[in-house]
Structure 1
Amino acid sequence: VHPAIGLSWCFAGLLSHLPPERPVYGLQAPHVAGEESHRTIAEAAKYYVAHMKSVQPEGPYHVLGWSLGGLIAHEVAVQLQEGGDEVALLGMMDSYQLSDRWLEQAMPSVASIIAEFGSDLLGGDADIDPRLTLQEAAELLRGRSGPFAALTIEHLERLYTGYENGTAQAHGFRPRVFDGDLVFFTAADDEINRADPARCAAAWQPHVTGMVHDQLVRCTHAGMTTPESLAVIGPVLRDQLAEIEARREGTR
């Protein structure tokens, strides 16, 4: 599930760490295509559950989200279980409820939008001028190869507005309880995480019935999908999925 920017391109790097028969489906926010944004995380989750079922009508499902996407993934998993479906894996990448303390700091700059593309070329742990304008961002993107070059100022404006809406959704989100374990990835080098002890994997324990497995990743929040970070995250997911398949085979 996409971070606040709404794009899920950042997860493409997982493919090289997973078996070739394991597909990865990226969920993208409707505002990316110019449609109206969701008003709440619960509304977004309902929308994505319908999309997931259009591809795979029944479980088991394996759901992963980064940042805002982790909050949505948690609610997706809860809604799937409410509908009688099995969720065999829930993963969250440095995802936290947004407290009043961090709300103002979480409102986006253009630089933070670029950072959440999840590319080491355009963001991640690289330095981006915090004074970057939308015009300058569009020019920066046009100078790069790949899909980023196709993004216009109009695209960036939609992504910026969607990011603002996502921040408000995260602030108003009250998670329910997922029945199962949680695989959590912590951005161990993030300054905000270090400054606030409440921003930790253990904060999710009241919202799952099983164990919270915390994997530290030596990066900042914006660097969770750089190749270096995915080289840590990908193998953990691969091993978790292999264990799930082994247990399933053992019960047949």
Structure 2
Amino acid sequence: MPKPAASDDPDLAPAAHRHFTALKKLARTAATDQILRLERAMVTGRDWTPAGFEQFLVAPPLLRHLTRRLVWTTGELTFRLAEDHTLADIDDARVELPETARIRIAHPLHLGDAIKAWGEVFADYEITQPFRQLGHPVHELTPHERATGRIDRFVGATVPIGAILGLGGRGWERSYADGGVQREFFRRIDGAVGVVVEFDPGIMVAAAHASGEQRITEIRFTRALLEASDSVLASEVLAELAGLPH
């Protein structure tokens, strides 16, 4: 909306312009929130039925705009939402899904060699993704880590206290305090403790943000991580750990 002109109503025009500006700001905030939710849905493996996909991700204009810019999957099939709101595979052939299908945002681990082809499709259609889906980093446990149950690659790293505390917002939990200090974060997998991160000097319960930098002293995991039904989980756990050090 253009700024009020001299010929516009001196009362109504400025009010309308302020209202429009507020709506634009609200729309940007809503879009940012939805993008974060969709990225989280990719890494957690959230799924939808075809009916839910249509109702929650295609019908609302804002969500549809974001949905069209992502690659989706069900089983071995990958597809996108085309301009006419139909589903199209990597060759632009129309896709029809059974009512029993479970639809997810495709993680790079699910796409394999198709990542490059999907990148070319999006480039041809000049589609910009709302977040790094095709370029999302993929991490794997090394054979040594699998054999020992320990992840030594991050041990000794110095971590800002804010980064350590930030794990709490991504599904990690703090251990019980010993002498008013907590020195572990752990991540549950299917209800059981799957990964434990130990650090020093620890978090002061009474003044967590004043605890200062922490040094990672040990990272260990249980069979729950190895036996997780989806390898995406291990990749995302490693990504969270990789994002901790300076």
What TM-score results when the alignment is normalised by the length of structure 1?
0.26
Q: Which structure is richer in relative contact order (CA contacts within 8 A, separation 6 or more)?
A: 1
More helix by share: 1
More strand by share: 2
